[in-house]
Amino acid sequence: MVNDLIKELLRQLPESPGCYLMRNARGNILYVGKAVSLRGRVRSYFAAPEKLTVKTRLLVEQVHDFEYFVVSSEQEALILELNLIKRYWRLTMYCLKMIKPFPI
């Protein structure tokens, strides 16, 4: 179910290229992505759950909030995505290790 915060954020999304971070209720980053059109890409996660894979549906069910960064080109979006992944990779892997009792 989509909360009011996400509904409002979805209404505000621009058609511009950029990156987005999906967060859970605790504020932990669940996913980093890039898009040619932020509006189309991010909305696709919340529009029709029956069209999503099981893995993506489980991810979206945990999303409580998201933030996005607008850039001027696809190339900038790719570079920003790589930098965001580098920045948050260790934190995300640490959280996963705390949840799972076996090595990743």
Q: How far is CA 26 from the centre of its chain?
A: 14
Give the end-to-end CA distance of the chain in Å, rounded to a whole number.
30
* 55 touches 44 (CB < 8 A): no
pLDDT score of 92: 56
Instruction: Name the least confident of 13-17, 32-36, 38-42, 45-49.
Output: 45-49
**What pTM, to 2 d.p., does this model score?**
0.81
Q: How confident is the model at residue 4 (pLDDT cuts 50, 70, 90)?
A: confident
Q: pLDDT tens, 44-66? A: 998 888 888 888 888 889 999 99
pLDDT of residue 104: 46
pLDDT of residue 3: 83
What would the 3-class secondary structure string for the chain be? CCCHHHHHHHHHCCCCCEEEEEECCCCCEEEEEEECCHHHHHHHHHHCHHHCCHHHHHHHHHCCEEEEEECCCHHHHHHHHHHHHHHHHHHHHHHHHHHCCCCC
